[in-house]
A and B are shown apart, each in its own frame.
Chain A
Amino acid sequence: MSDSDPPAAVEFSHVTKAFGARRVLDDVSFRIPAGRSVCILGRSGTGKSVTLKHVVGLMAPDSGTVLVEGRQVSRLSARDLSQARQRIGFLFQNAALFDSIRVGENVEFPMRRHTDLPNDEIRSRARRLLAQVGLEHDYDKMPADLSGGMRKRAGLARALALEPAILLADEPSAGLDPITAGEIDALLVELRDRVRTTLLVVTHNIPSARTIGESLIFLHEGRVIAQGTPEELADSDIPIVCRFMASEGGG
């Protein structure tokens, strides 16, 4: 790392994780400088979602270290982990909205838990976030009343509620129509360029990856087999990477 490099927001060093006999992450190492956007690519079941869960401390590595803003996640005390998590937004693959409360309350939830903002301000922020993802009219709906794509967008609004320094997004455009997917990509790009949020995005959607990712990481069978800019990966001589990058279809 040169002196001019920004500090790492997320850094994996030789991370290994196995479920039973199956090794899901195998000696994974990468570094994401603060304020940069990285997309993780790879076929289904290659450990992409597991990688995100390590960042937020939902899983601990069997060996190796995961550093978030310089601190080893698996060694944080409960209080420090809570503080670290408040700086991270997480959009889950299936949105994981709390289905016993309304969509607006889902977005309000992190603010109610972790800020002293007045009620009116929390509501207006939640409405603004929902408007950003095109759900301004769905504040009072229950999550069960939303389509898959709408749930995903509501999940993104919730992930952004605390204005996170790091945003983890697990397939943000999967299941969305091309126009909505493009709008979500544009929102993520705006976060990257305007707010300098560190983005770590798992996607199968190559056009999205090219739009969002300043650099890409390709995971295959639990190992990082390629990383670099979208152009570098497109020119890769690794067959699976080439085939993947050549597939322009959406996720």
Chain B
Amino acid sequence: MRLLVIVGDAARFTGRVFRESVRPPFEFRETLRQLFELGCRSVPLIAASGFAVGIVLSMHTRASLARFGAEALIPAGLAIALVRETGPLTAGLLLSGRIGAGIGAELGAMKVTEQIDALEATAVDSFRFLVVTRVIACVIALPILTSIMNLTGMLGGYVAENTANGMPLGTYFRLAFSSIQFSDLVPATLKTAVFGFIIATVASYLGVNTTRGTEGVGQASTRSVVYSSILLIAANVLLVRLIFFFYPV
């Protein structure tokens, strides 16, 4: 019964996010600030992770394709694997950790220290100011950060290939991009906007409903990561199925 109440409450919260996101006045300034805090500040993590993933993926791809004498396909294979699935999913999960935990903890702390009440008392709609701005920022930031992960992943792949066989940068990227089609890149990148929505909405919901002081803040932060990661993985299955429906291989 309690679970049903929570699910109903979360559904209402999500519906409100949709409604308030499209209703003026918009909090442009705060949304930009959140884009910087949540998006720009995530670039080092995403770039470094993408680079490392690219190197590892390239080494694995080489190990597989070399058996068949198909080393020339390594850039294309790696690029497709990155842009279709590895980049979006890895970026989503990494950001559910960084952004989800951050939003859950920040809003949780604001709740228990009455800062959210103070916002309301100052005649500011705390839902629009705190929640909607973060959701919009995440929806915008995730596809951009995923693109950065894809790009740095390819760079990592190039470094691995260059080290292994001295392949020049131009050749590597020509081979990589020649195989990528619209249906590989765009739907997979845009699906991360849904990931962003899930991460920010789940973390915000848990944050603004925090109780029990600092212990509650810790719980909100942890649960934000766990729940948003689970929902993100589940949503990914549905979204991939949807992409295959519209763009059959």
Contacts and interface: CB of A to CB of B under 8 A. Distances in A.
Interface of A: 53, 56-58, 78, 81-83, 85-86, 88, 90, 92-94, 96-100, 109-110, 113-114, 158
A110 B122 contact: yes
Contacts of B106: 100
A109 B115 contact: no
Contacts, number: 50
B117 A96 contact: yes
A119 B16 CA distance: 34
A85 B123 CA distance: 5
B114 A82 contact: no
A101 B231 CA distance: 33
Nearest to B122: A110
Contact of A58 (B109, B113, B120): B120
Contact of B118 (A88, A90, A100, A114): A90
A10 to B, nearest CB: 15
A86 B120 CA distance: 10
Nearest to B121: A90
Given A86-B123, A109-B122, A113-B122, A58 B117 contact: yes
B125 A58 contact: no
Q: Is the interface of B mostly helix, strand, loop or mixed?
A: helix
A113 B115 contact: no
A104 to B, nearest CB: 16
16 contacts: A58-B120, A78-B125, A81-B123, A85-B121, A85-B122, A85-B123, A86-B123, A90-B121, A92-B118, A96-B115, A98-B118, A110-B122, A110-B123, A113-B123, A114-B123, A158-B122
B124 interface: yes
Interface residues of B, number: 14
Interface of B: 106, 109, 113-115, 117-125
A174 to B, nearest CB: 15
Nearest to A100: B106
Contact of B124 (A53, A58, A88, A113): A113
A53 B117 contact: yes
B162 to A, nearest CB: 43
A192 to B, nearest CB: 21
Q: Which 6 A-B pairs give the minimum distances between C-beta atoms?
A: A96-B118, A85-B123, A96-B114, A90-B121, A82-B123, A86-B123
A235 B113 CA distance: 38
Nearest to A78: B125
Contacts of A56: 120-121
Which one of B109, B121, B125 has the highest number of Cβ atoms from chain A below 10 Å of its Cβ?
B121
B117 A92 contact: yes
A88 B121 contact: yes
A85 to B, nearest CB: 4
Contacts of B125: 78, 82
A159 to B, nearest CB: 9
Contacts of B122: 85, 90, 109-110, 113, 158
A81 B117 CA distance: 14
A189 to B, nearest CB: 23
B113 A99 contact: yes
A92 B124 contact: no
A78 B106 CA distance: 26
Contacts of B124: 113
A99 B122 CA distance: 15
A179 B109 CA distance: 32
Nearest to B37: A100
Contacts of B123: 81-83, 85-86, 110, 113-114
